[in-house]
């Protein structure tokens, strides 16, 4: 598979940055675009815009948008969600520097050839700043509410990813699958990068990890993806993921060094609202935990701040300053 530089850097550049004492890994901000379950408040576009521009100003490397249609959990009211690709397209037009990504786009929501078309278009709008994060989806109620099939999710994902990957990398596919058809399909125009945007696959099951080794430029550990018996943020837990991915790459006949690794992490900035799965502490403590991710081979983190507000972004800025200091 053609190696695609991540976030606009040349292969190996991130290791050079770490060696020179600069920021040891890329730090992204996750933007929740759904109703607050406690207040019912929905973040307006003006608020999302303000958060995005502030994040870019204080030094975040990337912005990440989820892809959901409706959230329904037992014994709680439904939560509405803004459509992710529409938000991402708008962000592409109003930001200048940050990488933009989907965390992650559900292949079950859209025809895969159309999905590739959308990705190429947003990559064009952003000037080549997109990372296309892909996943199979997991929240059955939204599939049911929007009339989408929820069966054979990984099988459907595999076919969709083959089509998306082929169109973005080569511009043409001819696929007659069990779930999707893309016969004599051509992607024109193809966006600003000859091989398209980097593809990131999120998923922790064996089949999803194998597909990441086959098709992805980046693998993403989701917020709740924990190996049995491992602690969420422990060096042992990170090492277990590294070994698992290295094995999958070897089985696919791929050099493990060509598969970048990313991790989505909850950060608790307000002690009274922090939960056990969140990283907490003083800015220098959180910065050191981020460095531990880099030492474990993680080149990019996507951070869900709590609170996920402008105040939360400002409170996190000192962590970025500590990361930028020479070790």
Rounded-to-integer distance, Cα 127 and Cα 118, Å: 14
Rounded-to-integer distance, Cα 257 and Cα 28, Å: 22
Residue-wise pLDDT tens for the chain (327 aa)?
333 333 333 333 333 333 334 899 999 999 999 997 667 788 999 999 999 999 999 999 999 999 999 999 998 889 999 999 999 999 999 999 999 999 999 999 999 999 999 999 999 999 999 999 999 999 999 999 999 999 999 999 999 999 999 999 999 999 999 999 999 999 999 999 999 999 999 888 999 999 999 999 999 988 765 444 455 567 677 788 889 999 999 999 999 999 999 999 999 987 766 676 788 899 999 999 999 999 989 999 999 999 999 999 999 999 999 999 965
The answer to whether the Cα torsion of 272, 27, 43, 77 is positive or negative is negative
Taken in order of first residue, the domains within the chain and their CATH numbers are 6-73+83-324 (3.20.20.30)
pTM for this predicted structure: 0.90
pLDDT for the residue 237: 78
Rounded-to-integer distance, Cα 145 and Cα 204, Å: 26
Longest CA–CA span in the chain (Å) reads 56
* Helix ranges, the chain (H): 13-19, 45-58, 84-94, 112-126, 140-145, 153-170, 206-215, 235-251, 283-295, 310-324
In this structure, are strands 70-71 and 79-80 parallel, antiparallel, or unpaired?
A: antiparallel
Work out the number of other CB atoms within 10 angstroms of the CB of residue 253.
Answer: 8
Rounded-to-integer distance, Cα 186 and Cα 31, Å: 33
pLDDT for the residue 231: 57
Three-state secondary-structure class, residue 100: strand
């Amino acid at each position: 598979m053609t190696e695609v530089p991540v976030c606009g850097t040349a292969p190996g550049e991130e290791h050079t940055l770490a060696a020179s004492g600069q920021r040891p890994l890329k730090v992204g901000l996750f933007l929740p675009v759904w109703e607050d379950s406690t207040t019912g408040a929905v973040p307006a576009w003006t608020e999302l815009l303000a958060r995005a521009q502030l994040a870019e100003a204080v030094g975040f490397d990337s912005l990440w948008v989820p892809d959901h249609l409706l959230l329904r959990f037992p014994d709680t009211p439904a939560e509405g969600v803004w459509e992710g690709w529409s938000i991402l397209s708008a962000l592409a037009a109003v930001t200048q520097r940050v990488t933009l990504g989907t965390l992650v786009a559900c292949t079950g929501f859209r025809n895969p050839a159309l999905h590739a078309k959308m990705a190429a278009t947003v990559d064009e709008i952003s000037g080549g700043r997109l990372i296309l994060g892909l996943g199979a989806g997991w929240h059955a109620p939204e599939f049911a509410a929007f009339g989408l099939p929820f069966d054979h999710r990984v099988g459907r994902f595999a076919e969709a990813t083959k089509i998306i990957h082929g169109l973005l990398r080569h511009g043409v596919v001819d696929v007659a699958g069990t779930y999707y058809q893309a016969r004599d399909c051509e992607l024109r125009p193809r966006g600003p990068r000859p091989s398209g945007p980097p593809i990131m696959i999120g998923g922790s099951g064996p089949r999803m990890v194998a597909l990441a080794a086959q098709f992805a430029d980046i693998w993403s550990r989701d917020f709740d993806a924990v190996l049995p018996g491992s602690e969420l943020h422990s060096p042992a837990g990170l090492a277990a993921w590294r070994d698992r991915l290295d094995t999958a790459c070897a089985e696919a006949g791929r050099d493990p060094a060509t598969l970048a690794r990313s991790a989505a992490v909850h950060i608790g900035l307000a002690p009274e609202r922090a939960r056990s799965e969140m990283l907490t502490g003083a800015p220098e403590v959180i910065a050191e935990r981020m460095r531990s991710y880099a030492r474990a081979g993680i080149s990019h983190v996507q951070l869900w701040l709590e609170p996920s507000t402008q105040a939360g972004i400002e409170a996190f800025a000192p962590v970025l300053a500590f990361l930028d200091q020479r070790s």
